[in-house]
Structure 1
């Protein structure tokens, strides 16, 4: 490798990224092993590992445990936060195929925060729904949704796609707007396992209180996005 002021992992990262952007390595193809890349670039496996991990966080590479590392989609799924559409539609509009690889529904008493949110429903039970959403079979998002128990699906297969569509078609509850907070969190072990990333990987979290056509909170969601797979656009106006 040529001398460069950049640290070695960043140099390797730039070389691999160049191969992906140029089309030499195409989306879906498996990357050579760490050992092969280390030999090719004349660096240690630890250096290659750091470079690959960085590219995975950016969405250029997908690390699949026990299988290998594959070239991802460099172009992020993008959209404006001012528009409230389902994750399913958002992924579909990007030209990818939306899917779900994991659904778990847990009925439990509401927390103090949820009692306050869902006060108009006077609910004594909520349904906490965990799902992993995919874009063209690549895990990109871990969703945690909480709704009053009376609106919960009876089985996971009812949530193959959009929860917003389910609430509208099944219960006539139309989500009109949402109040959103944005935060950065680290992936828990269950999230990391399902998203096939290392534990404590940074995730962009959107916490949202969704309001129905009567301006009543019906859904509390926490959507955990893998960096590099999504880009959020916000139009700001000077007051």
Structure 2
């Protein structure tokens, strides 16, 4: 049953419970209860149910067949785990490269207006600033600056970051699983400081990536600005028409 006293919105709670039910007790092609039956079972409004079902459809857990109902999809099983999908390390391993990461800076600071907007925090809220150089086969590939809200990840240390991947820390140490991430891409030119780390010339073409990472509670838990060498880094996206 959903807890109406919790700060987590009811439709988020419903999404999680339906996901658990699909993963543990259902298989592809099984029919879900009707909206009315879900409303009765979880004692929520039809609006809440529809919001949850729409998001589950976007995540690949269900599909709707007009006039027949809503059914379990196996699309979510075919998708990579999000912590791997947005992991430089796993991406490079998948290309047969040997990845490593150099931490260039780890500090606590106050966000500028761009970062505050990206994290959806106030400029008075402290954030961790993590600067990393991503390397594959000893070749610099990506210069990356990540901002993480201190109030959600109290006690985060450099030693923790050096010990295991950041998203593993989120999930294992803080119980904040990655739900999804929004990314924006733009073609650009390498700046002087970036050129030094990426071993390219100032003014060389690059790919700039801005990412907002959301946890299961729909909070932004990471805002990252990355600069990738365009001569080495390829980002592939598959578009599916509904």
Q: TM-score, normalized by length of structure 1?
A: 0.58
CA distance in 2 between partners of 1:130 and 1:162 (Å): 14
Q: Unpaired runs of 5+ in structure 1?
A: 1-79
1:151-206 Cα deviation digits (max 9, x unpaired): 27322672466322222222221112011111122222221111111112221011
Q: Aligned pair count?
A: 159
Mapped pair 1:207 → 2:202: no
Q: Is the 8 A contact 1:88 1:161 kept in 2?
A: no
Kept in 2, the 8 Å contact 1:192–1:199? The answer is yes
Cα distance in 1 for residues equivalent to 2:194 and 2:169: 24
| Closer, same or farther: CA 182–161 of 1 in aligned 2, 3 Å | farther
2: CA distance, partners of 1:174 / 1:117? 19
Q: Which has the higher contact order (CA 8 A, sep 6+)?
A: 1
The residue that corresponds to 2:87 in the other structure is 86
Task: Describe how 1:15-164 pairs up with structure 2 within 5 A.
Answer: 84-119=85-120, 124-150=125-151, 151=153, 153-155=156-158, 158-159=161-162, 162-164=165-167
CA RMSD of aligned residues (A): 2.7
What is the SS of the residue equivalent to 1:232?
coil
Q: Aligned ranges for residues 166-181 of structure 1 at < 5 Å?
A: 166-181=169-184
Rounded to whole Å, the distance in 1 between the matches of 2:95 and 2:163 is 19
Cα deviation, residue 112, structure 1: 2.7
Question: Secondary structure of the residue that 2:172 maps to in structure 1?
Answer: helix
CA distance in 1, matches of 2:144, 2:119: 19
Q: After TM superposition, where is structure 1 displaced by more than 6 Å over at least 4 residues in a row? A: 120-123
Structure 2 residues without counterparts, runs of 5 or longer: 1-79
How many Å apart are 1:117 and its aligned residue? 4.2
